[in-house]
Chain A
């Protein structure tokens, strides 16, 4: 570091300390002349104040201001220990030494900070920085526009050095609250100020990736803010045999964040049971874990595009939507379809969804074999929302016999369109099916899938009944879900 860098670094440190001082030592006149010369004397005063009342949240706040980023759990604990054995006047050194790792990870030499007191900070990092739009992103992008209009959340993403929250840039905001499948990627702009949530609520409506987890867990455990999660599923643990090891690994580390959260609001009763199961294991390690609630996702259409069925289809359409992977059970659907084709029943099967190449190759090979045998089967990859909506409208039936789901958005989207669904007889899909429009199957039994498919394809009365049921449902909307989630996050009884 050059002398100039040091000077700049010190002055931004000074500004960050002034920002947090009122919350650590309200009686201190941090902007007064006594501390105007350098950061050192102010840091010493604040460190002494924290040493005299070393609550974890106070340690976390001071460490955040000093490092310019959120400390890890190990850093908070190390500072706590060093403050305990510090001699008078050396508290400052304990804090500086304690945050060395985060301070060196933090790359902005001229970083300002602002404290957000008592607010609702919503971490939408992935949606703000990616154009990917399946499961979790659909939930976030359908919910945040409502929150943004009707409530007062602070939407945030992580800094590029992954040490703290920043306001969204205008481009990032568009990706979250005004998303369409044709939104271009956000332009690259510099990170802004460090946002320091204080005595408020941090909402995590996404499942954070590996590099974020360490500081995320510390936020939940030590920052004094309530950490609230949206719980999607525990698939990487429950169906570990159908995912790669790395995914289970990541999820097990996510569970540490769950452990130190205040509330996990789950997208279905089924998912709530899963997380309640995990929470019930925690007394073995002396912890109580979060409150577990179910704020169930709505049965609503994905996009506002109004669609009517295409005229004169040659063959009835059987639609399957979802990423191509063993758990979704495309193989069971292909096998069931084959049984029906062998019986002479005619229909077109359309499988929409992408996936990992190792599995796509196998699947595509199987599809090509069926096509060579003259079977009417097609694959859709990277389709737009409009094409997907049209497919739901055109389908005679949507088939979705997944082995495990946190919710089952394709089931909901089909029903909201008025299209019958064949889906799994247990778990979250069975929950959605309770209000009508579905036939339930044992997903591990190809013959059962074939039997229900046969009924919907060949028996017009069955089909008409299911369509009527689907249309008669009184479905919640994304606006309802957004309101219920906000209420649950703030523990307001409805």
Chain B
């Protein structure tokens, strides 16, 4: 494979700084000489110049606070003193991993820290991984992640990433972007990284962008777990300094545009918000999973109503249970299956499921279902119900439609967007009776069911390659016009 082509760099240490900041001067032969050239050539550095000096000589990407404090030091006492301080800090015994920082000028860096190191596979990580695998086909792409201390940007080995190999995943020696493009493919749940990415976006002269999945911890905080909004706010602070946020739906763009409109109060322009609709591909139902799926999912000859997603309040599963109960009470016959794990605050959901089961209602909850059986479950279901209160995309809606199974989903946001191409009954998710009526119509109205199933099967899938190409156009080929 030819993916190991070395990046264009300015080298390391003070020599790289002279090349970057004093392009008309030939770097001196020694590091000390280069440091003197810097001190003389840049008496009062800008915030951008200060950022680079800190990142290269400090060997850690600085936070905005550190950049501002260092610039004040240099403003009052000269750059020479700042350089001397950074050097003094490094005089401890050098360790094997304490390598000099390399300045990278024109690469496309794709940050996939979580997806590269986690064994979990959330929706967000699936997106990041898919984009990474597609982008690796391009020459200038370098996957990156973070050091254990979360202060250094490290190169990720493409082959190790593809093979999901932990060993040799990170290559040694921090890199410092100065120009080029940096793309954050995931949400950030580590404030320590957020503050450094914020400074990188603000000061490195690198074009920066991220994939915007949703802004739910800000706009729907009541449905998120403890402490999530606070952490998410730090992530938004980093995003506010970026050039581009590519949202996975128009609904997510609506959220990010609303947030961006808030920023002018702090004198910040905020990023451009562009929508790059997420991929939605039909997953193949492999024959070997069929028997197990049928045995697990189906109850006698009852039509199956499927509900996929973790039992967090936002997914509105209590309303689904209540709507189902109204229909059972009215004499309709069907079984109901929830596929998804427990989340915070799902105790009441568990109680309701137990109560209904004790009353003889055919309802079950399944967690940890293998993907192979999940794709069969969508095909075995009469319909899927997904009346979420807020979604960045609503993957189960797209997955169900990809399997040709109609969906009852919310009449707004990303769910209504996906439904535009057909196959759905739209309902107000805050109205239990409306959910019940939507489910009822697909259970009893054969004409409707047939028409929506046909619409679902006729939908054109959107591949990960198409999605990744469009993200590339938005982030890398971006010319500044929305």
Contact = CB atoms under 8 A, between A and B. Distances in A.
Given A281-B219, A285-B412, 19 more contacts: A74-B348, A81-B432, A84-B322, A85-B325, A234-B265, A237-B233, A245-B227, A247-B230, A248-B230, A248-B234, A251-B229, A255-B219, A256-B221, A277-B259, A277-B260, A331-B69, A404-B266, A427-B264, A447-B75
Interface stretch (B125-133, B154-162, B249-257, B277-285): B249-257
B113 interface: no
Contacts of A234: 262, 265
Nearest to A287: B412
Contact of B326 (A74, A85, A245): A85
Contacts of B265: 233-234, 238, 270-271, 273-274, 404-406, 426-428
B273 to A, nearest CB: 11
Interface string B362-404: 0000000000000000000000000001100000000000000
Interface in A102-149: none
A277 B261 CA distance: 5
Interface of B is mostly: helix
Q: How large is the interface on A (under 10, 10 to 19, 20 to 34, 35 or more residues)?
A: 35 or more
B393 to A, nearest CB: 12
Given A237-B233, A248-B233, A335-B76, A281 B263 contact: no
23 contacts: A85-B325, A217-B222, A241-B195, A245-B231, A248-B229, A249-B233, A252-B233, A255-B218, A256-B222, A270-B265, A273-B262, A274-B265, A278-B219, A281-B254, A281-B255, A281-B257, A283-B254, A284-B219, A284-B412, A326-B65, A342-B76, A427-B267, A447-B75
A337 B258 CA distance: 38
A246 B230 contact: yes
A368 interface: no
Contact of B234 (A240, A251, A278, A284): A240
Contacts of B255: 281, 284
User: Which of A247, A281, A331, A428 lies at the interface centre, i.e. has the most chain B CB atoms within 10 A of its CB?
Assistant: A281
Interface in B321-349: 322, 325-326, 329, 348
Nearest to B267: A426
Given A281-B255, A446-B72, A286 B413 contact: yes
Contact of B262 (A238, A246, A339): A238
Contacts of B251: 284
B322 A81 contact: yes
Contacts of B261: 273-274, 276-277, 280
Interface of A is mostly: helix
- Per CB-CB distance, the 7 closest pairs between chain A and chain B, nearest first, are A281-B258, A277-B261, A245-B230, A252-B229, A240-B233, A248-B233, A286-B412
B262 A241 contact: no
Given A255-B218, A284-B390, A249 B326 contact: no
Contacts of B69: 331
B252 to A, nearest CB: 7
B271 to A, nearest CB: 14
Contact of B220 (A244, A273, A285): A285
Contacts of B76: 335, 338-339, 342
Interface in A178-220: 217
Given A277-B258, A326-B65, A282 B219 contact: yes
A469 to B, nearest CB: 23
Contacts of A320: none
B11 interface: no
A278 B237 contact: no
B262 A277 contact: yes
B410 interface: yes
A274 B231 contact: no
B310 interface: no
Interface in B219-241: 219-222, 227-234, 236-237, 240
Contacts of A277: 258-262
Nearest to B388: A285
Interface in A448-494: none
Given A241-B195, A249-B230, A279 B258 contact: yes
Q: How large is the interface on B (under 10, 10 to 19, 20 to 34, 35 or more residues)?
A: 35 or more
A261 interface: no
Interface of A: 74, 77, 81, 84-85, 217, 233-234, 236-241, 244-249, 251-253, 255-256, 270-271, 273-274, 276-286, 326, 331, 335, 338-339, 342, 403-406, 424-428, 442-444, 446-447
A253 B413 contact: no
Contacts of A278: 219, 258-259, 262
A270 B318 CA distance: 40
A274 B262 contact: yes
B236 A240 contact: yes
B429 interface: yes
B303 interface: no
B173 interface: no
A152 B180 CA distance: 63
Contacts of A81: 318, 322, 432
A44 B307 CA distance: 37
A238 B263 contact: yes
A286 B267 contact: no
Interface in B261-316: 261-268
B390 A241 contact: no
User: Which of B191, B329, B412, B430 lies at the interface centre, i.e. has the most chain A CB atoms within 10 A of its CB?
Assistant: B412
A326 B237 CA distance: 15
A464 B409 CA distance: 66
B205 interface: no
A342 B329 CA distance: 83
Interface in B427-471: 428-430, 432
A335 B325 contact: no
A255 B221 contact: yes
A222 B329 CA distance: 27
A342 B44 CA distance: 16
Nearest to B261: A277
B165 to A, nearest CB: 34
B309 to A, nearest CB: 16
A323 to B, nearest CB: 17
Contacts of B221: 249, 252-253, 255-256
B302 to A, nearest CB: 21
Contact of B267 (A217, A241, A424): A424
B142 interface: no
Nearest to A277: B261
B72 A241 contact: no
Contacts of B100: none
A331 to B, nearest CB: 7
Contact of A446 (B75, B220, B413, B428): B75
Contact of A252 (B217, B237, B428): B217
